[in-house]
Structure 1
Amino acid sequence: MNSSVLLSQFAGAALLPPMNFVLLCALGLLLRRRWPKLGTSLCWLSLALLLVLSTRVGSLWLVRPLETSHAPLTGSAAEISQGAQAIVVLGGGRLSNAPEFGSSDQPSAATLARLEYAAYLHRATGLPLLVTGGKPDGSRESEAGLMARSLQRDFEVKARWIEGESDNTQQNAVMSAAMLKPAGISKVLLLTDAMHMERSMKAFGQTELAAVAAPTGFISYQRSLSTDYLPNAGALALSSYAMHEWIGLLWYRLRY
């Protein structure tokens, strides 16, 4: 694992739930000695945010604006493809050392969901696939390699291009564009999670590739339940994912 990825993971741990709320409460406890009201308010604020963002209703405050920025693709093959010449599928993590698969690495659940939609779009449009994702965690095989194998094994679809050197979304965009340019590809369907789509589109917008958003894995479209108001770990994970994307959008705007 390279130093930039390691630094990013430490920063994420501090800025995302639940550690950000722990740190906010700790700051409040420190400030109570000199400013009792301010310190106590910060402690209560950290607890309130933790409870609210641990509910599905609370998490949707962060999730919905990200997901509604790009609508799902619908219609005929021509309407879906919108003149694109290929489909680019971004990696979404791995399951390392899966014992049921002979202790080999496998695509994560999020990545499998993207691959399922990629296979669907491929069959609907006939467009070739590029899978992209490197080895940011220091693994021996790239995420793109895992994705290509899963596409062939689980969906009987072959990836035409395998980009396995990128470590983040910005590199996904730059390296995918460099791989597709010699093939005469100038416009692609960009496939990733609905929450991740806005940041991905901004990254690909910095390249010579024109991208059409092909989001999947929508959360905010799901039916509401009475339990949506109860705190649970799953809702907190959604809040963490969405907050990661909001911070990422800010960082990309400042850096790129």
Structure 2
Amino acid sequence: MDEDDRLLLSSSFGTEAVAYAKHRPDYAQAAARWALERAPGPRVLDLGAGTGKLTATLLTLGADVIAVEPDPAMLTELRRALPAVRALPGSAEAIPLPAASVDAVLAGNAMHWFHMDVAGPEIARILAPGGILAGLWNVVDDRVDWVAGLARVSGSAAIGPRDTPSSWRAETADLHLPKTGVAAQFGSPEQAEFRHGQRRSADSLVATLATRAGMLVMPEQEQEATLGRIRVFLASRPETARGEFTLPMLTCVLRVRRL
């Protein structure tokens, strides 16, 4: 992905901040717990926090959370949902926190948007020695037959790179650090996967997929055609044709420790 495409896609979510907050899933507690288990203290930055999906999970674990989010509309939703959380405007490339001020930096479905040659030194700056950097991604479990079919009919704009377990492992293997310089300040990365799920109906699953970055920047006619194919598929499957169902998911984690 070139820089122009990255910026276009990463800035698309604010246009649908309310829908994002309503339809995107939370994160498996076990995944967030694993991400934090080697952190030297409770101070956690949720970086690229969006509407606070990961922030809320971290609060349930007793973390002392600060949220940083660049998009004003997403930040507004976060502050509305979690008014007690310290939520600041900022980005991975310009984090508004002092040096060595947090014990862990976590990013939920966000690290792939970071310009890591700039963000890497910033993250290293604010992490205490021994601190943890971890990215968490919610992916659909395409080892389940109907989910694999959904991925096929949805296309890469709705279920794309990083959105299934095998592609997530490949796509995120090198995302934890820039290639030079600050890389020496971090140890070797670890990957882990944790079972998760989201209760959906056919309509709410379509609404969820419509909040994907590739869908948000798609021309309206093409978007409607894609969502129409998804509706037809969901109506054709016994697992999803009537009422609510659980969308099989995994929360996948990439973790690395600051030396």
TM range (shorter): 0.3 to 0.5
Q: Point out the structure with the larger helix share.
A: 1
Bigger Cα Rg: 1
Q: Point out the structure with the larger strand share.
A: 2
